[in-house]
Amino acid sequence: MRKVFMNHVELKQVSKSFGGIQVIPPLDLSIRSGEFLVLVGPSGCGKTTTLRMVAGLEDASGGEILISGVNVTNNRPGERDCSMVFQNYALYPHMSVRDNISYAMRVHGVEKSEIDLRVGDAIKLLGLEDYIDRKPRSLSGGQRQRVAIGRALVRKPQVFLFDEPLSNLDAKLRVEMRTEIKLLQRKLGTTAIYVTHDQMEAMTMADRVVVMRAGVIEQVDSPITLYEEPINQFVASFIGSPAMNFMEGFINDGTVVLGDQQVTLSPEDAARLCSATPVIFGIRPEHFRRSDHQSELSLTPNVVEPLGAHTLILGSLEGQKITVQVDPRFEVEPDIRCTVPIDMSQAHFFNPTSGIRL
């Protein structure tokens, strides 16, 4: 019986430098047992590096890494009982699908019957029955992906590590696979750390999302909290698609002044925000809608994109770009000024200098 730890994987003040350049300043992060944690952030922010430090493929320059309460900072990768799915799959090219999946177990002397059982299960689960004797090079990207997952799966590790496993797949397969991975992880109850730069993937799969920027963790929260209560402007702009609109303005007597337009604050915001503070006013495209705390903005549409379920208006407002999502029946013509409703209860306000949400 595996002992259950509240914090299954813990990073304490872990940092990483390459040469003289510090790419990860000391970082703290704990991952609960059975949790699906997603690391997300723009390219080059240190997600892969963090994951590789957990795996032991990269030495931490400072700090401690604990797995199940054991300090593994100086352990070899093999001693950490993690299994990893690499961005480019990293399958053994000269081995068949079956051999790829069973290789580690064969090396570690797992009993033949047990191997057959586990490999059989994995193959059935991942729908690889027709390919077991094929070499990776004669598989499609999605099939290779599944083999890589199968290989990670059968070892029954303590922790799954995924490094952008879906980035090479087409959009449709990516959507399918992310559901499959999520279901699989939940079924097995194995702790998982998943790296992606796709915020959609992060939102749909994660129990908790870690948003990183330049090696620094900006926010760790459940997807919905990230969406509703982003801690700063960076997180707000990173989470949600299309991205949140930001406009410079200032608070004046229960309203936000944006150039020569004014929108009325919701009562809570009006009570919270002092007059005359300069703010960055943030509103998501999908929150241009009718509601109890409604206000209005007029803008000049440049491009109108009917997407079926809704229509996107890319326009300009007081010289700033703005994206608005409206109902498909909304009457709008390019270059003809129009007025859209705003749900002010969904508005966000950020400090213009620090970017912190007010």
Partner 1 sequence: MYPVRYEDMVLTKILESKHLFIWPAFLTVLIVSLFPLVYALIVSFQSIRLVPPIPPRFVGLDNYAEIVSSARFWGSITTTAIIVCISVFLQYVIGFTLALTLHHNVRGASLYRVVFLLPMFLAPVCVALIAKMLFHPVLGPVNDLFTIFGSPNISFLTVPPLAIAVLVIVETWQWTPFVVLLMLAGLQGLPSDVFEAARVDNISIWRRFRDITFPMLLPLSIAVIFIRMIEGFKIVDTVFILTGGGPGTSTETLTLFAYNEGFKKFNMGMTSALSFMFLIVVIVFGSVYLAAAQRIVRRYK
Residues 358, 344: Cα–Cα separation, whole Å: 15
Q: Which of 18, 121, 278, 302 binds ligand ATP (CB under 6 A)?
A: 18
Residues 98, 229: Cα–Cα separation, whole Å: 46
Cβ 186 to Mg ion shortest distance, Å: 25
**Beta bridge partner(s), residue 299:** 338
155 binds, among ligand ATP, Mg ion, partner 1, none (CB under 5 to 8 A by kind): partner 1
Cβ 22 to ligand ATP shortest distance, Å: 9
CB 75 within 8 A of CB 56: yes
CB nearer to partner 1: pick between 31 and 55: 55
What is the SS3 assignment for 110? coil
HSE-CB at 295 with a 13 A cutoff on CA atoms is 18
**Two tokens, residue 18:** 């390459």
**Two tokens, residue 252:** 């004046």
92 binds, among partner 1, ligand ATP, Mg ion, none (CB under 5 to 8 A by kind): partner 1
Q: Which of left, alpha, beta for 305 (phi over 0: left; psi -120 to 50: alpha)?
A: beta
Q: Which of 42, 44, 69, 78 binds partner 1 (CB under 8 A)?
A: 78
**Beta bridge partner(s), residue 343:** 294
> What would the x/- binding string for Mg ion be over residues 19 to 48, using CB under 5 A?
-----------------------------x
Window 37 to 76, contacts with ligand ATP (CB under 6 A): 41, 43-49
**Two tokens, residue 207:** 């129990």
> Is the sign of the CA dihedral 142, 147, 198, 242 positive or negative?
positive
Window 258 to 317, contacts with partner 1 (CB under 8 A): none
Tell me the window of 72-80, 174-182, 189-197, 258-266 that interacts with partner 1 (CB under 8 A). Answer: 72-80
Tell me the window of 71-79, 185-193, 299-307, 312-320 that interacts with partner 1 (CB under 8 A). Answer: 71-79
**Two tokens, residue 65:** 């890494």
175 binds, among ligand ATP, partner 1, Mg ion, none (CB under 5 to 8 A by kind): none
Residues 162, 307: Cα–Cα separation, whole Å: 33
Tell me the window of 2-10, 100-108, 176-184, 277-285 that interacts with partner 1 (CB under 8 A). Answer: 100-108
46 binds, among partner 1, ligand ATP, Mg ion, none (CB under 5 to 8 A by kind): ligand ATP
CB 76 within 8 A of CB 58: no
Contact set with partner 1 (CB under 8 A) = 55-57, 76-80, 82-84, 86-88, 90-94, 103-104, 107-108, 151, 155, 161
